[in-house]
């Protein structure tokens, strides 16, 4: 079988994977967004996950093509679906992007083709929700006419060390033979190889517990931060001391946003309840982590009150709005929770982030951000995201004489801050 790959969805996950596959196989990237496709074919990725150099190399030397035209992927035989799996306003799984991508695959899939899903889901989604859509649209029968696999994405946005080719990936297939094919395709482009799971459901479950475990661990640290802040003990000092033991898991408290850790546990929570299991630890962790933006804002207000600074109509600067440092990704960022809580007291809030796309932030959150550091004096400055650019700021130049500097990330010198998480 000569493999020709189509990757459906060219976001943070799909594009790096498609670019990597193109080094070994004829590969087409498919996305519904014409603007995104045009940008990529001009050799630039606005998510910054793939460098202009690597993207240019894929296009010019490996015939990598991005398209919105279904006809361009009809002759492929290995379809990889890499679309987002968000939650709705009630934190229930929103499978619409997956259903839409499955319809797209259904229009082009042929006998003998393989469809692999990468999107993070609860166990059962691939076979119970996605493949029936492919069957309905194509008129073909799953595991007779076409076959399936699941290999959960493990992309870490903004991470230039653990790039897609260095990540060990879990693979699976709908039959033992297909599992071998899927595994060999991924293995051929990965430096650290693969782990072949015994079934699609096991592979689905493995991904969702990776993020759920991290969510629970960070929630524990956030709870400790609340306890130690109330006791007047520096949480970071406690963590450093505890980390001197060999088996202590060293994590820091913080805001838990983004498209993975703050979303994926809800998928498992929802499915668990269908089976009559109430996942209390996961649910409590989600609730605690979701409340940390509001907690930080109230800690800042407390610091301001202690220094006699009137919170009403105060001038406040928030540094950073992306969900993590040195990355333009603003999906599900919890910095907006800090903003919204403080905006109950004052409208004089500026947000400065040199990494974020101002139009996207305005569209997603209705917040107008600055991409240049304002030349003003503020009553409170909050370091919310640890972008490298922020470490070199002369904070004395942007602080009023009586002001507060709060360090959410614990990266600034203790001599200049008034509080930290």
- What six digits make up the tokens of 4? 């020709």
With beta carbons less than 8 A apart as the criterion, state whether 302 and 377 touch. no
With beta carbons less than 8 A apart as the criterion, state whether 58 and 19 touch. yes
Across the strands, what pairs with 148? 115
Residue 175 DSSP label? S
Q: To which residue do tokens 């406690």 refer?
A: 238
- Check 130, 260, 303, 327 and give the catalytic one: 260
Catalytic residue check, 303:
no
With beta carbons less than 8 A apart as the criterion, state whether 293 and 337 touch. yes
What angle separates helix 96-108 from helix 131-138, to the nearest 10 degrees?
A: 40
With beta carbons less than 8 A apart as the criterion, state whether 297 and 196 touch. no
Phi/psi of residue 93, nearest 5 degrees: -55, 135
Pick from 295, 156, 120: nearest CA to 221: 295
Radius of gyration of the chain (CA): 23
Specify the pairing of strand 378-383 against strand 419-420: unpaired
Q: How many CA atoms lie within 13 A of 21 on its CB side?
A: 26
294's enclosing H/E stretch is: helix 292-306
> How many Å apart are CA 355 and CA 357, to the nearest integer?
7
Residues 289, 290, 291, 295, CA torsion sign: positive
With beta carbons less than 8 A apart as the criterion, state whether 384 and 319 touch. yes
Catalytic residue IDs: 260
């Amino acid at each position: 079988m000569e493999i020709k790959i189509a990757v459906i969805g060219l976001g943070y996950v799909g594009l790096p994977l498609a670019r990597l596959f193109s080094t070994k196989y004829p590969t087409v990237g498919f996305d519904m967004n014409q603007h995104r496709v045009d940008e990529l074919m001009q050799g630039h990725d606005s998510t910054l996950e793939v460098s202009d150099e690597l993207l240019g190399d894929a296009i010019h030397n490996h015939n990598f093509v991005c398209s919105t035209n279904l006809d361009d992927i009809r002759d492929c035989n290995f379809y990889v679906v890499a679309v987002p799996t968000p939650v709705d306003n009630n934190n229930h799984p929103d499978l619409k992007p997956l259903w839409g991508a499955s319809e797209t695959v259904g229009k082009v899939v042929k006998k003998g083709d393989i469809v692999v899903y990468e999107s993070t889901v609860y166990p059962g989604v691939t076979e119970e929700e996605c493949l029936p859509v492919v069957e309905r649209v194509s008129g073909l029968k799953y595991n007779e006419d076409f076959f399936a696999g699941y290999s959960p994405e493990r992309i870490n946005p903004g991470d230039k060390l653990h790039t897609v080719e260095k990540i060990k990936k879990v693979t699976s297939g709908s039959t033992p033979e297909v599992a071998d094919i899927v595994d060999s395709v991924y293995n051929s482009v990965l430096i650290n190889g693969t782990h072949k799971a015994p079934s699609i459901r096991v592979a689905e479950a493995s991904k969702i517990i990776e993020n759920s475990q991290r969510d629970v661990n960070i929630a524990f640290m956030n709870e400790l931060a609340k306890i130690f802040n109330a006791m007047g003990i520096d949480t970071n000092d406690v963590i450093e001391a505890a980390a001197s033991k060999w088996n202590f898991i060293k994590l820091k408290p913080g805001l838990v946003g983004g498209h993975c850790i703050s979303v994926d546990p809800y998928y498992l929570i929802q499915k668990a309840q269908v089976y009559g299991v109430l996942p209390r630890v996961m649910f409590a962790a989600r609730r605690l982590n979701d409340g940390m933006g509001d907690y930080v804002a109230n800690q800042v207000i407390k610091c301001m009150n202690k220094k006699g600074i009137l919170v009403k109509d105060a001038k406040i600067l928030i540094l950073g709005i992306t969900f993590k440092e040195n990355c333009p990704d603003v999906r599900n960022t919890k910095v907006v929770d800090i903003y919204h809580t403080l905006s109950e007291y004052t409208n004089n809030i500026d947000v400065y982030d040199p990494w974020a796309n101002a139009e996207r932030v305005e569209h997603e959150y209705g917040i107008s951000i600055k991409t240049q550091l304002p030349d003003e004096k503020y009553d409170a400055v909050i370091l919310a995201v640890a972008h490298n650019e922020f470490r070199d700021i002369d904070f004395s130049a942007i602080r009023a004489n009586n002001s507060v500097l709060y360090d959410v990330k614990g990266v600034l010198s203790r001599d200049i801050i008034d509080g930290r998480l």
